[in-house]
Structure 1
Amino acid sequence: MLAACWLPWVLLRPNRLAAGEALHLPALDIVVGLVLALAVPLAGRFLPRAVPLLASLALGVGAWWLGSRTGAALSGQAEFARASASSGLWLWLLGAGISVYAARLVGRWMGGAGLLLAWLWLPAVLVMALAGHFASWSVVAEYTVQHNRFLQELGRHLYLILVALGLATLIGAPLAVWASRSVRVSGVVLGLAGGVQTVPSLALLGLLIAPLSALANAVPALRSLGISGIGLAPALTAMTLYALLPVLRNGVVSLRGVLPGVLDAARGMGMTDNQRFWRVQLPLALPVWLSGIRQAAVMLVGVASVAQLIGAGGLGYFIFSGLQSGAADLILLGALPAALLAIVLDTGLRGLETFLGQRLGRA
């Protein structure tokens, strides 16, 4: 964070593609940054209870500077000018983020008030975003220009993830149950699923083009269903195959991990095999099994971005458009929402795992 105060904070460019001019923080902002950068570690040494508040303040100030400095840089510039975040901002946010993580650890022994202070930056950033404070930032400017296309590609990205995850669960769940009852079957099933994981996602997408094209040509009726060598069909096929391994592996491990004594007790109560599975084994295995589904969901966020290369759409449209044109703003317009989507999926499914684990623990 100290180093960030002296690095360029904003890159001002006359348009999306032109080389830019690096701008630094004003002297007053540098002084504020130095004070905050020194205050966080000093508080950790002498006044730990102040760490959550100072860390949240550092992250919130970084977000404020992002909006205010980009806005000031664009003052008097042409309509096509862009003000993007430079190395100083990213380094500051990294340091502030590490400080917030440490503040959450400190806040645990302080109780609810400490944890609340460690998360104080989040509502502040949301209020800034809703108030349009970041409107001058180049990524937000690109979103404003391509608002409709962004919503379309975001919806396609979610569609790819949810459909592929659903298919992987529908296929992997019965296979995991079958494999959990036989060492030989589990070796074959997990070996095949693991073999698919060794193939790079881009290579797997390319390998599926030829067979699906041949299938669509051999059975023309399949084209009316949307099956062809490019587009959704190969993308969903590849994503489903990729998601199978964590679903299968965690399913087999969780089902085998149920204590034999518990199953014997259920048998002693007169339960049939089906009743023991649905009422005892599956509920006990479900939290661990959900962990595999969570891993698959997070992994699919990245694979769905690559699917744009075969015309499947998604947030990869902006990432690859930015790579082709050398426009970092477009890359971030696709990459940042994808990263946030992965975090939301991971947090939501992790919360579901914890909830089910607590319910089963009380039961």
Structure 2
Amino acid sequence: MQLIFGLGGVLMLAACFLPWALLRPNRLAAGVYLGLPAVWMVAGALLALAVPLSARFLPRLTPVLCGAALALGFYLLGARMTAAMIEQPEFARASASSGVWVWLLGAGIAVYGAGQLALQQRFWNGLSWLWLPVLAVLALTGQLNDWSVLRELDAQQARFLQEVGQHLKLVLTGLGLAVLIGAPLAVWASRRPRAADAVLGFANGVQTIPSLALLGLLIAPLGALASALPFLRQVGVSGIGTAPALTALTLYALLPVLRNGLVALRGVSPGALDAARGMGMTDNQRFWRVQLPLALPVWLAGIRQAAVLLVGVASIAQLIGAGGLGYFIFSGLQTAASDLILLGAIPAALLAIGVDALLRGLEVLLARQWGRG
């Protein structure tokens, strides 16, 4: 445990001496690196040293210090960007530099360690989440508006909302198709060992193909299919665009849906099924009332893994014209604009975290409902 807090403290201490802002006259021009003012450098260094010391001598104080460290990182991000942009022209940009990311990484590690420490010693860990309301207040009051990523967001707000919606559409549609195909297939294959090996072999084979290569492989057959059957072109099927993207996403999501489904269904205790049979239940009743409720938690975990996987893979869909948050990532790569890359990458990461949390909650809720039933 001390190793976790020591690593977090070392990273935060190092961040105090690194540049925190890169000030540029425009998005693409070279700029000047700016560090922290001396007073904040000293305060940050003291807090970085206090975190591992508190974990050793005052563990109940550790969550407060860890939460404060992460909150301080976001506050200094906004304050440093605002100070850098004073009297700068409209096209100037203040980007977060290495100090910001190293500090947030160290503070994040410390917050994780605080959670583990609280669990180990059985005390309340709520104050380690102090950073969350601080971040909300900073965002709502506009204290972070001078950060270059948010300036890009302000300039491209309409396009951003469009691409977020398209990203969600791709992920949800691909996941839905994978569940519609994979769930019945898992039920069917769970009773046929040879079929299960073949199905899992196919799904594993798809996973070995890089996502970009899979999208490329789908262009020719889907394009030929759309040419041979004109009505498919009328409903949007073509070699580029949404059709190959959804096909690739569905294929990628099949493995966790199938694998967890098979493991879950096969893992149900034979004794529970025998007891249900002894009660006079039919095969369908045993499946819906006994086997599925017992298998549901493991199966839902696979669907959650598939959803998080698709959030990342969907970013590649922009390369074949399907849109999504990859639009900003690849636009930034083409123009060497790191702010645009972050405008796509940060929401994609937050979206993955949000989808994971939402489906994890749904997993717990449904498991409780099935358990009561």
Tell me, yes or no, whether TM beats 0.5: yes
Q: Secondary structure at the match of 1:271?
A: coil
Cα drift, residue 105 of structure 1: 1.7
Aligned to 2:255: 245
Task: Determine whether 1:52 maps to 2:63.
Answer: yes
- Cα distance in structure 1, aligned partners of 2:77 and 2:87: 18
* Partner of residue 3, structure 1: 14
- The aligned counterpart of 2:108 is 97
Q: State the distance in 2 between where 1:94 and 1:116 align.
A: 20
Query: Are residue 196 (structure 1) and residue 220 (structure 2) matched?
Result: no
Residue 42 of structure 1 is matched in structure 2 by: 53
Rounded to whole Å, the distance in 1 between the matches of 2:85 and 2:74 is 17
Separation (CA, whole Å) in 2 of partners of 1:265 and 1:184: 27
CA 1:321–1:362 in 2, change beyond 3 Å: closer, same or farther?
same
SS in 1 for 2:125: helix
Q: Deviations over 1:108-145 (max 9, x none)?
A: 35667x22111121111111111111100000000000
Deviations 1:205-234 (A, max 9, x none): 011111111111111111110001110000
Q: Does 1:88 align with 2:103?
A: no
Deviation at 1:359, TM superposition (A): 5.1
Q: CA RMSD, aligned part only?
A: 1.2
Amino acid at match of 1:77: Q
* Residue in structure 1 matching 2:39, options 5, 8, 28: 28
Deviations along 1:151-197, one digit per CA (max 9) or x if unpaired, are 00000000000000000000000100011001100001000111111
- Local SS of the residue matching 1:6: coil
> Structure 2 matches for 1:198-277, cutoff 5 A?
198-277=208-287
- Which residue type is aligned with residue 317 of structure 1? Y
State the AA in 2 paired with 1:276.
R
Change (3 A) 1:298 1:119: same
TM-score normalised to the size of structure 1? 0.97
Counterpart for residue 139 of structure 1: 149
Does structure 1 conserve the Cα–Cα contact (< 8 Å) formed by 2:63 and 2:114? yes
1:74-98 deviation digits (Å, cap 9, x = unpaired): 1111110000100011000000001
Q: Would you say the 8 A contact 1:315–1:335 is kept in 2?
A: yes
SS of 2:238's equivalent in the other structure is: coil
What is the identity, as a one-letter code, of the residue corresponding to 2:50? A
Unmatched 5+ stretches in structure 1: none
1:64 paired to 2:61: no
Is 1:52–1:117's contact at 8 Å kept on the other side of the alignment?
Answer: yes
Structure-1 residue corresponding to 2:86: 75
Q: Contact (CA 8 Å) 1:246, 1:296: kept in 2 or not?
A: yes
Percent of aligned pairs with the same residue?
69
Does the aligned pair in 1 maintain the 2:293–2:371 contact within 8 Å? no
Q: Aligned partners of 2:223, 2:53: CA distance in 1, in Å? A: 64
Contact 1:301 1:338 (8 Å CA) reproduced: yes
Structure 1, 259-268 or 126-135: larger mean CA deviation = 126-135
Between the aligned partners of 2:131 and 2:117, the Cα distance in structure 1 is 16
Cross-structure match for 2:351: 341
| Partner deviation per Cα, 1:52-79 (whole Å, 9 max, x = no partner) | 0000000001100000100100111111
TM (norm. structure 2) is 0.95
Deviations 1:271-303 (A, max 9, x none): 000100011101110110001101100000111
Provide runs of 4+ in structure 1 moved above 6 Å.
none
**Distance (Å, rounded) in 1 between the aligned partners of 2:244 and 2:200:** 22
Q: How big is the shift at 1:19?
A: 1.1
The 8 Å contact of residues 107 and 118 in structure 1, kept in 2 or not, is answered as no
Aligned equivalents of 1:357, 1:110: Cα separation in 2? 29
Distance, in Å, in 1 between the alignment partners of 2:226 and 2:363 is: 41
Distance 1:3 1:119 in 2: 23
Asked if structure 1 preserves the Cα contact closer than 8 Å seen for 2:25 and 2:89, the reply is yes
